[in-house]
Amino acid sequence: MRLFAGLALPWELKERLAGLVGGIPGARWVPPENYHLTLRFIGEVAPFEAEEIDHSLAVLRGSRFALTLAGIGTFAKGGRDTQLWAAVAPNPNLQHLRGKVEQAVQRAGLEPERRRFIPHVTLARLDNAIPAKLAAFVQTHNLFRAEPVEIDHFCLFSSRLGKEASVYEVEVEYPLV
């Protein structure tokens, strides 16, 4: 089972993000139903490991908070853009929750995450995107800002490879108070 901990986004925000997409030939756009914010990628685990992760996340206590998406950016690897994403406005409560999730999955036996946490919502994969079109898209949408949304839970998601895109399913919801 392939897992990650993350934030499910309300449909209204997904629709707003979906309204941005298009205009970059070669981009593989993420379907709106797959928009989420990853707190911690876990990867492939055995059923008993998934149960340990669930137990560890279930005892985590965190506070509700408002989340605001603001800005558009890209990730690059080897000098080539690989992902297009919507940025998250700085948020200490999100950072705190992310730290607690990291501690919980380590208690469940996972190795520490080595990558720096950059909260974002992936909009597209950029295998063969035309650089000039990508630059124009980012420039056009760099002032994007969505209304804040209330985050009152986080989730443990499973991920299965599908024909067109991965299929994400919420396995467990954990409340924030």
Q: Is 40 helix (H, G, I), strand (E, B) or coil?
A: strand
Which residues are within 8 A (CB) of 16 and not within 5 positions of it... i.e. 6 or more apart? 146
Q: Which residue has the tokens 């720096």?
A: 116
| CB-facing half-sphere around the CA of 66: CA atoms within 13 A | 6
Name the DSSP class of 117: P
Catalytic residue among 36, 55, 96, 141: 36
The answer to whether 14 touches 170, Cβ cutoff 8 Å, is: no
Is-catalytic flag, 141?
no
Q: Which of 55, 120, 141, 153 is catalytic?
A: 120
120 catalytic? Reply is yes
- Whether residue 55 contacts residue 125, with contact meaning beta carbons closer than 8 Å, is answered with no
Return the active site residues: 36, 120
